[in-house]
Structure formats: structure tokens, C-alpha cells
Copies of this chain bind each other. A is one copy, B any other.
């Protein structure tokens, strides 16, 4: 039985949090789109974050890391339209953004988390941030989470927001979040930006542990294009206003909390994949019977990242060779004579490979299954009991179009 439930909501659903997003003019080509958001808590929060593993990092990451050293945060400032990465004055601008947020919200600059997303290697002017902050001042509200979700979008076509509730020691605890995709998304914090809030009482150490546990099977299992961003940031703030007993160790409440955020993060991972640049389909690759969990992970990732598999799914082509090929080069130990492959969607399931050999199958049925917008690629091995699932999307003309001329 699951100990949580999804509710309609956003980053402002937990007690204590308000937010909003405005059009500040960072995005030059279209000045009607929101591109600056702030998230605020009425009290300082325990906080934790996970960042990109890319050696080339946005300056915002260096500043946010420093600000999170004491495990406390009270606000987030984030812009889209410019990544503030590989700029000479990047650190200075990121710190300035924190000062602007601090002044706007009446908090310490050291308690502000800063993030940016957009084009790399172009200076981020501070004027739009100042202008946007003026518009946000006094306007952070309980229903402003949706505007914040909109303001962090780049090539996303839909905004991503969610909320989950659970009961910890008799108290109702809410967790909410916003996230953005949708390109430069790859395994190992394939998220670009996600901000999560909760009113749970939980120490920053336990928050960090919980984040890492949940990320492992969600954000770390999604790929859109194999490119790991320079700006990936997933930050969480806990206000403690739910009044539950403070979680300071891995007890039952901790487990329930992890279970709830893991389920939510998996949904976000699917949303990121489904809204991947140019995507028309969500692909979920489920591997069972691998020698170890690690083998299942690398196999599912290998299949979900294969350009040829992704293009075949776009074309609703039940090609089994490309799946077998991607299993074969994954690096996992596999008995190639024991690989079964099936495709599944709301229209049914079809086996296309049995014991490593291609099957003759009903092409019309396969086509019907693969024309759906959510496809499961089921791989069953006979090597052990390792299982894992990875999330991705198809490779389409629009991916090429979007990325063939992104800056202009």
C-alpha cells in the first residue's frame, strides 16, 4: 500500500511558501514570456540540493553551493533565457541576483538559492533581473507557483508542477515542486532545473539523503538527448510548518517521505521525457532478469539513449534488432541467447524477440501498439533478478529543427 497521494498543486502547496514569475525581459526575442521567478518561505528552511556532474558549470551552481553549505535557505531566484555559464562576470551576476532577491524579499542573501537556464556563453545582463524583481516585490502568492513554473521554461511546451501529500506521525505533510526540461537532458541529474518545497520538519542532512535516494531512480534515469547540462540544479527546502516530529534519522517517517518524493520525482522524469525537445512519445524501458541491479540500469539506459531506437519509435517501427544491438553494446554482462523483447502500450503487448532471436510477428498489431504516445519497451533477461526502468523519448524532425538553430 502506498503511503502518499498526488494532489493538484505546485511549489506553493506546502505551508509557508509563496512564489511568482514575471516577464523580466531576459529572453530577448519574445518579451511576453515569463523568464524570472522567485520562491519564498516565511521562515528559514532546512535545505539541500544536487547539481550537475558536468565539469563546465554555470556560475549559479558555485554560488548556490556556497549558500547551501550551512544547510539553510529561505528563497530561490531563477531566470530562463540565459544559462549564466562560461561568462567572465558569471559569479558576480549570480551573487548580484541573490542580493536582489534578498532585498526584494527581506531575507539574507546567503539564504538565497540562484539558478539560470538558457543559452551558454553569453553575458547575462542584470537590468532585466532588477526590473523583474521590482515587479515581483509584494506579489509572491500561494497561487503564484504556476507562474513560477512557466517562468523557468525554455523549449518546454508544457509547464511541470506537482504536489504530493503523506501522513507523518499523524500530521499531513505536503511536498510540491516545479521543474523544466527539455533539451540537454541526460542521465545523472538529467533535469536542468527543479525546485521542491515541503512543510515537513526534516534536517538538512536527512533532506540531502532523501534527495539522493529519490534522484537515483528518477532524474538519474531520464535522457532526452544524451547531453548533460551545465546547469542542472535540484533544490529542496523544508519549512517544518506541518508540525511533524523532526526527522533526523532514517526512521519510518523518513522512509515514507522518501517513498512520496520518489514517486513524485519519477512522474517528473516521465514529464521531462514526454516533453523532451521535439518528442511525440514517452518511452519507458523496463529491464527484468539482469545479472545485477547495475546491469539492469546500464541496459535500460543504453536502450533509451540509442538514436536508432528513438528514431524507430518515432516511426512506430517494431524493429527488434536495434534493441538487441543496444543491449549488446551496453557494457552489461548478458547471455545473448536469453533476451526477450516486447513492446507494450494501451493498445496491447507484442513479443518481437524470444531467446535472442527475432520473431515473425503481426506487423499491423505492432504498428497499432507503437502509434500510441506512451510506449513500454520490455526486456527480459535470464541472468538474475536485477531490474530497473529508464525514461526517454523518440527522436524526431522537430528535435533537429529546435536544435539546428536554437540561438537565433
* Contacts A306-B227, A307-B226, A308-B227 given; does A53 touch B329 at CB 8 Å: yes
B228 pairs with A329, CB closer than 8 A = yes
Taking the complex as formed, is A50 at the interface, i.e. its CB lies under 8 A from any CB of chain B? no
Q: Is the CB of A404 within 8 A of B120?
A: no
Does any Cβ of B come within 8 Å of A208's Cβ?
Answer: no
**B317 and A121 within 8 A (CB):** no
Contacts of A226 in B (CB 8 A): 226, 305-307
Is A200 an interface residue, CB under 8 A from the partner? no
Residues B56 and A86 in contact, CB atoms below 8 Å apart: no
Q: Which of A241-249, A319-327, A385-393 contacts B (4 or more CB under 8 A)?
A: A319-327
Q: A86-108 vs B: 1/0 string, CB under 8 Å?
A: 11100000000000000000000
Expressed in whole angstroms, the minimum distance between the Cβ of A181 and any Cβ of chain B is 13
Tell me if A322 and B88 are in contact (CB < 8 A).
no
Q: Which residue of B lies closest to A305 (CB)?
A: B226
* Docked pose: A225 CA to B85 CA in angstroms: 28
How far is B402's CA from A300's CA once the two chains are assembled, in angstroms?
A: 24
Decide if A8 is an interface residue (CB 8 Å cutoff): no
Given the complex, which residues of B lie within 8 Å of A325, measured CB to CB? 54, 56, 120, 184, 227-230
Q: Nearest chain B CB to A389's CB is how many angstroms away?
A: 21
CA distance in complex: A306, B403 (Å)? 12
Say yes or no: A320 contacts B404, CB within 8 Å.
no
> CA–CA, A402 to B88, complex, Å?
42
Residues from chain B with Cβ under 8 Å of A57 in the complex: 328, 336
Instruction: Tell me if A312 and B404 are in contact (CB < 8 A).
Output: yes
Q: How far is the CB of A309 from chain B (nearest CB, A)?
A: 8
Complex: how many Å from CA A123 to CA B315? 22
| Chain A positions 389 through 406: 1 when the CB is less than 8 Å from some CB of chain B, otherwise 0 | 000000111011111111
Q: Are B121 and A54 in contact (CB under 8 A)?
A: no
Query: A313: nearest residue on chain B (CB-CB)?
Result: B404
For A369, the chain B residues whose CB sits under 8 A away are none
Q: Does A206 contact B (CB under 8 A)?
A: no
The B-contacting residues of A in range 109-130, CB under 8 angstroms, are 119-123
Contact B326 A407 (CB under 8 A): no
**Closest chain B CB from A131 CB (angstroms):** 23
Q: When the two chains form their complex, are residues A329 and B120 in contact, meaning their CB atoms are under 8 A apart?
A: no
Is A356 in the interface zone, CB < 8 Å from B?
Answer: yes
Which B residues lie within 8 Å of A186 (CB)?
Answer: 329
Bound-complex Cα distance A55 to B339 (A): 12
Is A63 in the interface zone, CB < 8 Å from B? Answer: no
Q: Complex formed: what's the CA distance from A28 to B185 in Å?
A: 39
- Determine if A358 is an interface residue (Cβ-Cβ < 8 Å): yes
Interface positions of A from 319 to 368, Cβ below 8 Å from B: 319-322, 324-329, 334, 336, 339, 352-353, 356-358
Q: Which of A218-234 contact B (CB under 8 A)?
A: 225-230
Contact A321 B400 (CB under 8 A): no
User: Assuming A183-B308, A227-B307, A227-B326, is B405 touching A321 (CB within 8 A)?
Assistant: no
- Cβ of A88: which chain B residues have Cβ within 8 Å of it? 357
Q: Is the CB of A121 within 8 A of B320?
A: yes
28 A-B residue pairings within 8 Å (CB atoms): A55-B329, A56-B324, A56-B325, A57-B336, A83-B321, A85-B321, A85-B324, A86-B321, A86-B324, A86-B356, A119-B321, A120-B322, A121-B320, A121-B357, A186-B329, A225-B308, A227-B325, A228-B329, A311-B399, A312-B403, A315-B403, A315-B406, A317-B406, A317-B408, A319-B406, A395-B403, A397-B397, A400-B400
Which 10 pairs of residues, A with B, have the shortest CB-CB distance? A120-B321, A121-B358, A315-B404, A56-B328, A311-B403, A54-B328, A315-B405, A228-B329, A55-B328, A225-B307
Q: Given A314-B400, A314-B404, 10 more contacts at CB 8 Å?
A: A54-B329, A56-B336, A120-B320, A122-B358, A184-B325, A227-B326, A228-B325, A311-B399, A315-B403, A317-B407
